[in-house]
A and B are shown apart, each in its own frame.
Chain A
Amino acid sequence: MNIETLFGLGAAALVGIGLYGLIVLPHPLRKIIAFNVMGSGVFLLFGALAKRGAVAGLLADPVPQALLITAIVVAFAASALAVALIVRLIEATDSASLASDPPEEAAQ
């Protein structure tokens, strides 16, 4: 198996792991971590595709690689905004719950 396929399959697994965590983890901060795992899986898949585009003396296609740099920086900005929102949510409600019912009722 060549390196592109290997990392591509690994990327698919990372997307799956991140998606699972995003759905089942109740705490919003954990959801952000899971979402970042999922996002990095997408990035890795894109990076494997960039490696496949290696021709003309280049070791990889520079266009997807450049877009990946942009993507990583934007993902950080989005995560920072999400973290600020959660901190504010907790300050405002004293709870990190995303449930539509109040936690007491949800626990019953």
Chain B
Amino acid sequence: MMTGGIVNLAIVLLLMALAAWAVLVREAFLAIAGFVAYGLLLSLVWVRLYGIDVALTEAAIGGGLTGAMLIGAVSRLRGTEAAARSERSGASLHVVALLLSLGVAATLALCVLALPDPAPTLAPQVIENLAATEVGNPITGVLLAFRALDTLLEAIVLVIALIGVWSLAPDRFWGGRPGLRYESDPDGILAYFARLLPPLGIVFAGYIFWAGADHPGGKFQSATLLAAMWTLVLMAGLADTPRIAHRGLRLGIVIGPLVFIAIGVLGLFSAGALLAYPEGWAKPMIVVVEVALLPTLTLILGLLLAGPPLRHDRPGSKA
């Protein structure tokens, strides 16, 4: 117990140091490197807090995808860093910001110390009703049965975010391909790994997806892994991003929310409430929703990373 406490304390101190590094260091690239390490350490914290599902998501998205996206952005923003430094805010703002941050942190800390005992919890209700959903992982039960509305709205928010990113495309490239066309040595190490890893990644993602019903895992973690494999293939130049005008692509993006809504409306008639599952049909319905959400999440995560469309197929029209 004693060593566990020391480990926890060390993790918290390291986490705060990495956060300070990501905020205070001079170079944006170094800040991002710190932020990726921060995300990975945070997933270790989730393991310590018994949130294995959260840890998987944090490692894949908080550390992996966000880091990749920021590194992609910083390489395009390099020239603007020096100019931004010249408009560094005045000393008075620093003092006010410091006082405000200390005030907010201190207030939160006091709230943490004044939390009620015993803590409010919904765990007993989840355990009581989990059997009705026929899934063994309480988190999957919450995501797709007890709080299915949150998951549905989240999928819709993702679609809207992608539409937002796409709408930033210059008019002439609308309907074109997102991101830059990557090229690499076809016999190089990157192309080698981009051929070697995706089959393993797909099998692993399939396992995480299916095991998510009863163990940590599920569609979010699985979709992130698939999106990462897709990005690897894109970056090695083995494949190109699809045109955003492609009908199949657009169908794949909206299929998850559409199936989810259809099953939700079906619940109105078969079980008397929106997003309710008829008795005995919960597990098959949940599986259908998860299968439909998988391509949606994979495509949206990958395309958010790729960014707005920047080019058409015609030679010479590259951005």
Are B45 and A44 neighbours in the complex by a CB distance under 8 Å? yes
A99 to B86, alpha carbons, bound, how many Å? 12
Residues of A69-108 at the interface with B, using a CB-CB cut-off of 8 Å, are 69-70, 72-74, 76-81, 83-88, 90, 95-97, 99, 103, 106-107
Identify which of B31, B139, B308 contacts A62 (C-beta below 8 A). B139
Are A58 and B154 neighbours in the complex by a CB distance under 8 Å? no
A6 to B150, alpha carbons, bound, how many Å? 29
Identify which of A54, A67, A87 contacts B123 (C-beta below 8 A). A54
Question: Smallest distance from the beta carbon of A108 to chain B beta carbons, Å?
Answer: 11
Are A70 and B143 neighbours in the complex by a CB distance under 8 Å? yes
Are A74 and B154 neighbours in the complex by a CB distance under 8 Å? yes
Q: Is B53 on the interface with A (CB-CB < 8 A)?
A: yes
For this complex, 19 residue pairs linking A to B, each with C-beta atoms less than 8 Å apart, are A11-B112, A12-B105, A12-B108, A13-B105, A16-B106, A21-B23, A29-B70, A30-B84, A33-B35, A37-B35, A40-B39, A48-B49, A49-B119, A53-B121, A60-B123, A73-B61, A73-B154, A80-B304, A87-B73
Interface bin, chain B: 35 or more
Q: Mark each residue of chain B from 81 to 125: 1 if its CB lies under 8 Å from any CB of chain A, else 0.
A: 101111111000110111011101110110111010011111110
Identify which of B54, B76, B123, B146 contacts A53 (C-beta below 8 A). B123
Are B102 and A63 neighbours in the complex by a CB distance under 8 Å? no
Are A107 and B108 neighbours in the complex by a CB distance under 8 Å? no
A85 to B166, alpha carbons, bound, how many Å? 10
Q: Is B256 on the interface with A (CB-CB < 8 A)?
A: no
Are A48 and B112 neighbours in the complex by a CB distance under 8 Å? yes
Residues of chain B with a CB closer than 8 A to A9's CB: 12, 109, 112-113
Residues of chain B with a CB closer than 8 A to A41's CB: 19
Are A17 and B84 neighbours in the complex by a CB distance under 8 Å? no
Q: A60-B50, A70-B154, A97-B87 are in contact. Are A14 and B15 (CB under 8 A)?
A: yes
A107 to B70, alpha carbons, bound, how many Å? 27
Question: Smallest distance from the beta carbon of B230 to chain A beta carbons, Å?
Answer: 15
Q: Mark each residue of chain B from 113 to 142: 1 if its CB lies under 8 Å from any CB of chain A, else 0.
A: 101001111111011000000000011011
Are A76 and B301 neighbours in the complex by a CB distance under 8 Å? yes
Taking A10-B15, A68-B51, A73-B61 as given, write out 7 further A-B residue pairs in contact, using a Cβ cutoff of 8 Å, ordered by the A residue number. A7-B49, A17-B19, A17-B23, A33-B23, A55-B118, A70-B150, A77-B162
Residues of chain A with a CB closer than 8 A to B294's CB: none
Are A33 and B120 neighbours in the complex by a CB distance under 8 Å? no
Identify which of B35, B61, B98, B143 contacts A76 (C-beta below 8 A). B61
Q: A10-B12, A50-B51, A84-B308 are in contact. Are A27 and B84 (CB under 8 A)?
A: yes
**Nearest 5 pairs between A and B by C-beta?**
A16-B105, A53-B121, A21-B23, A12-B108, A8-B112
Identify which of B54, B80, B118, B150 contacts A47 (C-beta below 8 A). B54
A74 to B147, alpha carbons, bound, how many Å? 16
Q: Is B262 on the interface with A (CB-CB < 8 A)?
A: no
Identify which of A34, A40, A70, A80 contacts B23 (C-beta below 8 A). A34
Q: Is B161 on the interface with A (CB-CB < 8 A)?
A: yes
Residues of chain B with a CB closer than 8 A to A7's CB: 8, 12, 45, 48-49
Residues of chain A with a CB closer than 8 A to B202's CB: none
A18 to B118, alpha carbons, bound, how many Å? 30
Are B112 and A107 neighbours in the complex by a CB distance under 8 Å? no
Residues of chain A with a CB closer than 8 A to B141's CB: 62
Are A58 and B127 neighbours in the complex by a CB distance under 8 Å? yes
Q: A20-B23, A69-B220, A74-B158 are in contact. Are A36 and B126 (CB under 8 A)?
A: no
A25 to B154, alpha carbons, bound, how many Å? 30
Residues of chain B with a CB closer than 8 A to A85's CB: 168
Q: A15-B104, A107-B87 are in contact. Are A65 and B51 (CB under 8 A)?
A: yes
Residues of chain A with a CB closer than 8 A to B94's CB: 24
Question: Smallest distance from the beta carbon of B155 to chain A beta carbons, Å?
Answer: 9
